[in-house]
Amino acid sequence: MDIAVVGTGYVGLVVGACLAETGNHVVGADIDESKIQGLREGQIPIYEPGLDLLISRNVAEKRLRFTTDIGAAVLESEVIFIAVGTPPDEDGSADLQHVLDVARVIGQSMTEGAVVITKSTVPVGTAQRVRDEIEKQTDRTFHVCSNPEFLKEGAAVDDFMRPDRVVCGIEDDQVRPVLEELYEPFVRTGNPLIFMDIASAELTKYAANAMLATRISFMNQIAELCEATGADVTVVRQGVGSDPRIGQSFLFAGAGYGGSCFPKDVRALIKTADDLAVDLSILKNVHEMNERQKGLLTAKVMARFGTDLSGRQFTIWGLSFKPETDDVREAPALTVIEELLEAGASVVAHDPQAMETARSFQLGDRIAFGEDAYSACEGSDALIVATEWLQYRRPDWDIVRDALRAPIVFDGRNLFKPSRMRAMGFAYYSIGREQVE
């Protein structure tokens, strides 16, 4: 198929590269000239394992190319994906400006019978707004579908190539064969290609992310109860998760969730419900709990050192909201850093992939960055672990101890055993477990 993917962010790049990998001819379109020029030169603007090789191979084999001419990309394509950003507005709703801007261009440029697919995460009713915008520009026939993405940053390529399910919202069965042909290479092992109405497809994406966010916030509240009662959230999680009706996923207590999806999607779903006079108080509590959880590490630091941290230095391991990505949007580490700086402390941070992103995102030169995890610890009053990168899981504690002013660790991801940290002479503070003084 000839396919256009409008938007070359996390979702658009993965979608375009993976569809090209299965033999389609894909053009990725974006108005950002510097990004498109970089992609043409082999510069991938995000870190996503395996994506660089996938893009370079398909560009070399002429199945994938990039352009800033969105109209031309639409004109030559039978299937057009809308994969632009939907950032949160001030009231929590999804900002659909970019989606509707693309819809206008599609209406001006598309050929007869084009299939327009919203891949961006959008609230219920967006597909109809896309249809209305296109119809203002053309009298050609076309189809609008909803095909929400379920990609985990850090494993997005594998998620697309081996999906656990593909959800397609369609207006009528006429367009169904196009989507079946498009996704047949990815569901050959039997994982479902689920067809439903468009409103249900749009809501499925939000409901899935809200459910996962709810599990995280629930377990973080159980962790708070564990600390108050002397229980250990790690073994509580194991006991709860061993129930096959519940499972182990997304039950890890920690410093809160972040990223471009969960926080934004929870707020957008709350706003949609409020607009329709539906009480989603459970999700309001999920969001409020997560915002409090992001400040938990700082609260533990202040309980140990006091609220005035002037003259003290702290090391942060991990800036991205999760490992295997350079995405720092709404990362708990940023909340911790801001609160430490506000209390008068200085901060030295290290992250395997996200230091440049964090520097350009909002930190600038307000903190220092370590060349490696160990040098970042030099002269600090304590180490704070904010992201569970694999390389942080088995550090050389002798080097860490020698680098720090005192052997003190605050672990926001429960990576280490309290008993082992005690045996090595560290004061160790984690989430929902024994605090080692």
3-state secondary structure of 236: helix
From 18, 145, 226, 261, active-site residue: 261
pLDDT at 88 over 90: no
Sequence-distant (6+) residues with CB within 8 A of 29 are 4, 5, 6, 7, 8, 66, 67, 68, 69, 70, 73, 74
Q: For domain 205-292, give the CATH number.
A: 1.10.1040.10
Least confident of 177-191, 212-226, 378-392: 177-191
Tokens 């790690």 label which residue?
Answer: 234
Pairing of strands 64-67, 313-317: unpaired
261 catalytically annotated: yes
| Cβ-based neighbours of 3, under 8 Å, separated by 6 or more | 16, 19, 24, 25, 26, 27, 77, 78, 79, 80, 81
Q: Which pair of tokens denotes residue 78?
A: 């039978």
Assess whether the region 2-196 and the region 295-429 belong to the same CATH fold: yes
pTM to 2 decimal places = 0.91
121 falls in which pLDDT band (50, 70, 90)? Answer: confident
In 3D, which of 69, 45, 44 has the Cα closest to residue 54? 44
For residue 320, which of 289, 286, 287, 350 has the smallest C-alpha distance? 350
| Whole-number Å distance between alpha carbons of 138 and 109 | 9
Q: What is the mean pLDDT of residues 403-429?
A: 97
Secondary structure letter of residue 363 according to DSSP: I
Amino acid identity at 189: T
Residue 8 reports pLDDT greater than 80? yes
pLDDT of res. 364: 82
Whether residue 362 is predicted with pLDDT greater than 80 in this model: the reply is: no
Whether the predicted pLDDT of 4 surpasses 90: yes
**Mean pLDDT over the full length of the chain:** 95
* CA 425, 427, 429, 435 torsion-angle sign: positive
pLDDT tens for 323-354 read 999 999 999 999 999 999 999 999 999 999 99
Q: Does CATH number 2.130.10.10 belong to domain 2-196?
A: no
Indicate the class that CATH gives domain 295-429. alpha beta
Distances (CA, A) of 233 to 23, 210, 227, 238, 251: 48, 22, 8, 9, 10
pLDDT digits (tens, 9 = 90+) for 234-288: 999 999 999 999 999 999 999 999 998 899 999 999 999 999 999 999 999 999 9
| pLDDT for the residue 382 | 98
Q: What is the DSSP annotation of 121-166?
A: ---TTHHHHHHHHHHTT--S-EEEEE----PPTTSHHHHHHS-S-E
CA–CA distance, 171 with 411 (Å, rounded to integer): 49
Is beta strand 313-317 parallel, antiparallel or unpaired with respect to 382-385? parallel
Q: How many residues does the chain have?
A: 437
User: Can you tell me the distance from the alpha carbon of 183 to that of 19, in angstroms, rounded to the nearest whole number?
Assistant: 9
* Residue ranges covered by each domain of the chain: 2-196, 205-292, 295-429
171-218: per-residue pLDDT in tens?
989 999 999 999 999 998 888 999 999 999 999 999 999 999 999 999
pLDDT-based confidence at residue 89 (cuts at 50, 70, 90) = confident
**pLDDT tops 90 at residue 71:** yes
Are the C-beta atoms of 106 and 135 separated by less than 8 Å? no
Q: Is the pLDDT of residue 87 over 90?
A: no
Instruction: Determine what percent of the chain is predicted with pLDDT higher than 90.
Output: 93
pLDDT (0 to 100) of residue 147: 96
In sequence order, the 6+-apart residues with CB closer than 8 A to the CB of 92 are 267, 268, 270, 271
